[in-house]
């Protein structure tokens, strides 16, 4: 089949097939009971996966080295990997005594995948691993197939609500209650807002360029660097209650769940470094994160069939930007909500700017003008000069089934980066699980870091309750 009859790889997709920035998404679905290859195969064959051009095509190159998707006859059995026996990592000396529980075993399995198990290019770039003994499936999806929102939407088409087996689960974005305030703004306020947008955009894009070239975070116990993406990994899960996050959100006016998440990260990292740092740290030390920002409208999750139509195919793919989000090391204070207030102030300014949009557009232009290798090099530099990655995906609030089997949790992580810490959070049915992938030679006990994040939210919740008057000022 000639190149002309196939779809070329998008510029953003080309970034994810470069060696230094290749990314594979590992999404875990916890199940109520084990499943086998037969049920998995049946679900896939009755889903939109086998109709989607990206999931039924090889990624190949022409004589000029340009990548494109070549349609093939899909062999579903090549994409299903059945692991019937319990996962056992007795050779890992760093593990604690309670190693045989399902969560630890699954996290160990995925941690190995993030470093040493790329997807084979002799078949479409996705796999489903069935971990029968641990009651879960792992969906491995190459990032060149699409961004998190597109891929998550495809997964939801295979699911049905527990409460209504005929309906697909829906995603309702968690937004602040003051979304319509801008309608009442006076002309002077809008003009001032425009000036702020221009100013913050200028400042943040200038910083973005400096980070690409030479400015980097100072050395800490949690900063990685060039080559760290090849180091062995450990994976742990921090678990949060959305009700707790909403309670903290309501303690500060016009705060969002993302503000709370970043306040928890800021507080948790400070707590971890205060008790585990091997070197003295200066108060107010900056630790910079790279945040992935979705630029695709959320309603697109419910309109997947439109995304897959020939006339709408341009909307499918990778459409996200990047923002640099700094946290600052502070010794434990008497008011945990200060971390939230600082996070909200910073994120409000970031959202007012065009940093995420311009990072996407400039990256697109660089890719078109200078090629994928140069764009990959610049992205790699940004990762090397910052300290962690963070992303957040809003999942369905209602429980759902897949193939008739209730799903108990959703967790996701990606291939290892030059960061020592990579964090991906997904919310589902009132819970939010954050997968924390670390370079274990730098952070040998990531469970301590996860505990710091969990405790940070609980302390912020306690402070919010005190603010409401629901708790005494001094607890026993």
Note if 143 is an active site residue.
Answer: yes
27 and 155 in contact (C-beta within 8 Å)? Answer: yes
DSSP 14: H
* Angle 58-62-66 from CA coordinates, rounded to 5°: 90
Residue the block writes with tokens 């900056």:
286
**CA atoms of 439 and 416, how far apart (whole Å):** 9
DSSP labels for 279-343? S---TT-EEEEEEEEE-S-GGGGG-HHHHTSGGGGGGSS--EEEEEEEEE-----S-THHHHHHH
Contact 403, 35 (CB under 8 A): yes
DSSP state of 49: G
Q: Which of 134, 143, 330, 424 is catalytic?
A: 143
Query: What are the residues facing 31 on neighbouring strands?
Result: 407
Q: List the structure tokens of 365.
A: 């232009």
What CA–CA distance (Å, rounded) separates 433 from 256? 17
3 state SS for 391-443: EEECCCCCCEEECCEEEEEEEEEECCCCCCEEEEEEEECCEEEEEEEEECCCC
- Residues involved in catalysis: 143
């Amino acid at each position: 089949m000639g190149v002309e009859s196939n779809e070329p790889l998008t510029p953003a997709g080309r970034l994810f097939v470069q060696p230094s920035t290749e990314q594979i998404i590992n999404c875990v679905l916890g199940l109520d009971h084990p499943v086998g290859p037969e049920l998995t195969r049946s679900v896939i064959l009755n889903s939109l996966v086998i109709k989607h051009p990206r999931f039924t095509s090889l990624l190949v190159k022409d004589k000029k080295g340009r990548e494109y998707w070549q349609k093939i006859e899909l062999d579903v059995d090549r994409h299903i990997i059945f692991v019937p026996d319990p996962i056992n990592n007795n050779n890992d000396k760093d593990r604690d005594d309670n190693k045989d529980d399902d969560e630890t075993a699954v996290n160990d399995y995925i941690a190995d995948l993030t470093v040493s198990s790329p997807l084979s290019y002799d078949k479409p770039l996705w796999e489903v691993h069935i971990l029968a003994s641990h009651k879960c499936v792992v969906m491995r999806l190459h990032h060149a197939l699409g961004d998190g929102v597109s891929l998550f939407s495809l997964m939801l088409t295979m699911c049905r609500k527990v409460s209504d087996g005929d309906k697909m689960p829906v995603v309702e974005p968690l937004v602040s209650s003051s979304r319509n305030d801008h309608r009442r703004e006076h002309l002077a306020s809008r003009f001032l807002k425009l000036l702020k947008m221009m100013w913050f955009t200028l400042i943040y894009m200038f910083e973005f360029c400096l980070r690409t070239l030479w400015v980097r975070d100072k050395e800490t116990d949690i900063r990685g660097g060039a080559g760290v993406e090849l180091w062995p990994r450990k994976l742990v899960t921090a678990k949060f209650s959305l009700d707790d996050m909403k309670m903290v959100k309501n303690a500060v006016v016009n705060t969002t769940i993302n503000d709370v998440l970043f306040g928890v990260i800021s507080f948790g990292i400070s707590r971890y470094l205060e008790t585990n740092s091997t070197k003295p740290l200066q108060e107010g030390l900056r630790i910079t994160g790279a945040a992935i920002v979705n630029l695709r409208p959320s309603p697109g999750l419910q309109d997947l069939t439109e995304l897959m139509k020939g006339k709408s195919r341009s909307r499918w793919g990778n459409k996200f930007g990047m923002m640099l989000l700094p946290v600052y090391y502070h010794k434990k204070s008497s008011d945990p909500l200060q971390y939230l207030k600082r996070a909200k102030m910073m994120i409000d300014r970031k959202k007012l700017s065009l940093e995420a949009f311009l990072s996407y557009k400039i990256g697109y232009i660089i890719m078109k003008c200078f090629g994928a290798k140069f764009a990959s090099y610049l992205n790699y530099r940004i990762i090397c000069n910052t300290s962690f990655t963070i992303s957040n995906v809003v999942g369905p609030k209602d429980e759902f089934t897949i193939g008739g089997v209730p799903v108990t949790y959703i967790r996701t992580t990606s291939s290892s980066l030059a960061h020592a810490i990579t964090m991906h959070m997904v919310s589902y049915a009132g819970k939010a699980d954050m997968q924390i992938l670390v370079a274990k030679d730098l952070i040998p006990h990531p469970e301590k870091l996860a505990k710091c994040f969990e405790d940070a939210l609980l302390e912020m919740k306690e402070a919010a309750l005190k603010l409401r008057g629901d708790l005494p000022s001094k607890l026993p």
